[in-house]
Structures are given as C-alpha cells and as structure tokens.
Amino acid sequence: MSFAPTVAVLVSLLTTTVMLRSKLASAIQDVPNARSLHSKTVPRIGGLGLMAGILSGWAPAMPAWWLILPLAGVFVVSLLDDRYSLPVRGRLFAHLSAAAILVVGAGLYSQYGAVVTVAALLFTVWMTNLYNFMDGSDGLAGGMALFGFAAYGAAAWIAHNDALAVLNLSISAAALGFLYHNFPPAKVFMGDAGSIPLGFLAAAMGLWGWQQGCWAAWFPLLVFSPFIVDASVTLLKRTLRGVKITEAHREHYYQRAIQLGWSHRKVALVEYLLMFGVGISALLVAQQAFPWVALLAWGVIYAGLMAALDLRWNRLREGAK
C-alpha cells in the first residue's frame, strides 16, 4: 500500500495524456463565454484522469461502500453534466443524495445525534459545490487538492492511521499527475467530473478523519480555507445584493485578481503559498480543541487580502467611469 500514491500519480498522468490525444478531447470541451477567464477552447476531460488515478491508488484497500457509492454517483452525474449540461435541480439532488448516503453510512447519527448529522450533511453539500465554484483558473483546483489532501494524509499519518493517510495521499498524488497538464497555461481542465468529486472528498475525508480522532472538527475548514473563504464571502456578498447564487459570475477574489492583471500562473502560485501555509499551521495545532491564535491569524490575513483586492477593484471601476 505504500506505493499507492506513486501508482495514483502515474495513472492520473498517463490517463490524461492518452485522452488528450484521443477523440474524447474534442468531444468534451470548455468553450469560452462571457464569464470565462480563458480565451481558447480547452478539453474538459481531466476529471477522468483524476478519478482513474485516485481509484488505482485505492485499489489495494478500497474504503467503505458509503464513501465509494456516493463518490461514483456524483462522478457519473458530473460527467454527464460536462457533456450534456444537466439542470441545476438534478445536480443538486444528486449532491444531497450523495451527502445523505455518506453521513448515514458513516454512522454519524447514531454516534453524534441529529444536529451533528444535519451539520455534516450541509457541510458536505457546500464543499461539493464550492469546490466547483473555485475551479475557474489554471492550476487552482488541482493545487488545492494537492495541498489539501496532502495535509489530511500527513495528519492521519501523525495520528498513526496509515490506511486513511494512504487514501488521502493517493488523492493528492492523482492531483499532481493532473497538474502536469493543467498548470498554467492549461492544456486540460478537470470539469465538473473532477471538481465535484474532489469537493465531495474534501468533506468526506475531513469528516472521516474527525470521526476517527485524527484531527479536530475545525481542521478541514482551515486546510481548505483558501477555497472556503473566497467562495463563502463572495456568495454571501452576492446574496446580500439579491443576486441568485446559481448564476455564473466572475466575482470570486481569484477571478478579480486575474481581471486586475494578474496572470493565471501568478494567481496559482500565490494561492499555493496560502494553501501550503494553512496546511502547515493546521498540522501544528491539529489536535487542539480550538486554536484561537491560528484561526485569528488566518482570519486577519484573509481579511487583509480581500480588502486589498476590493480596494484595487473599486479604484479600477471608478477609473473606468
């Protein structure tokens, strides 16, 4: 099982490489529109390579049915959405069903009661979707998977849960294989078939590690905070303005940075620095019930970064008038 991450990265890389040279690359493509941050048509098949890498790494010791079954479900629905653009209600129903299978199958209700179960359900649905919201810039979603699941794996290893560590490190390794073709300038996008399952796994593995005592409940929130903060604050601001959160837009902070002149590469590298930083700090205090200093420090950092981008964005709008 120690070779599982190596298998995952190689299968992810090779599968994506082969698909880019096949007819499938032209069958499922991301065509630029008014909301896009790219100007060229790019194949949207990277999710297939990612999932192939993850499952190959997991093959020696597959996790429980209540993780595999909903993961397969959201992957299939998302792949169909990439190809045929399914209705929002249908996709949301699939996400809710997957989250319900996860929390019920994991025994959260019998172990913690109704309040925790409902909170876990909503957390899973939100993570599943916000990861997709943040998949709009070259190398960004793949990088978050690389750093986020590596942090999960390291924390599980420190807690002497080798099986959980290998599962998470395999996801991280598969993301690394995908990034070979996705790092700016991207030759492939992961599509919903990649971002939706990764968001689901971010929640599922976070809950599973907490349930097994590998980390505190706040740990997944800090590890994936570069995505959680951007998506949550942006959609809250849109909600307060009375805008539908399901509408496509370019108001996320990483999108604003690119519109202000940052390259996709610069955005990815700055985000990687944030991802690495929160991952290391989370590992240092993983077993604390509530690490006020770390959470407060990162809250100040995020607030400062968002305020700086908001200031530059407002100046740009005022100058354009």
pLDDT of residue 320: 67
pLDDT of residue 321: 61
Residue 1: pLDDT band (50, 70, 90) is low
Average pLDDT, the chain: 94
Residue span of the structural domain in which 50 resides: 4-320
The angle formed by the CA atoms of residues 272, 274 and 276, to the nearest 5 degrees, is 65
Question: Does the N-terminal peptide bond of residue 185 adopt cis geometry, omega within 30 degrees of 0?
Answer: yes
pLDDT of residue 34: 67
Q: What is the pLDDT of residues 139-193, one digit of tens each?
A: 999 999 999 999 999 999 999 999 999 999 999 999 999 999 999 999 999 999 9
pLDDT of residue 108: 95
Identify the three-state secondary structure at position 68.
Answer: helix
Distance CA 271, CA 48 (A): 24
Q: Identify the burial level of 41 via C-beta atoms within 10 angstroms of its C-beta, where 0-12 means exposed, 13-18 middle and 19 or more buried.
A: exposed
How much is the average pLDDT of 189-218? 97
Contact present, 96 and 125 (Cβ < 8 Å) = yes
How much is the average pLDDT of 111-116? 95
Q: What is the pLDDT of residues 72-100, one digit of tens each?
A: 999 999 999 999 999 999 999 999 999 99
Q: What is the pLDDT of residues 3-53, one digit of tens each?
A: 999 999 999 999 999 999 999 888 899 888 767 788 789 999 999 999 999
Q: What is the pLDDT of residues 275-318, one digit of tens each?
A: 999 999 999 998 888 899 999 999 999 999 999 999 999 998 77
CA atoms 155, 158, 160, 162: torsion sign: positive
C-alpha dist (Å) from residue 56 to 98, 101, 321: 22, 23, 54
Distance CA 81, CA 276 (A): 32
Residue 109: pLDDT band (50, 70, 90) is very high
C-alpha dist (Å) from residue 79 to 7, 67, 153, 186, 260: 23, 18, 27, 20, 32
How much is the average pLDDT of 121-139? 96
Nearest to 67 by CA among 78, 79, 54, 81: 54
How much is the average pLDDT of 117-146? 96
Length of the chain: 321
Distance CA 301, CA 277 (A): 11
pLDDT of residue 317: 79
DSSP state of 59: G
Task: State the total domains in the chain.
Answer: 1
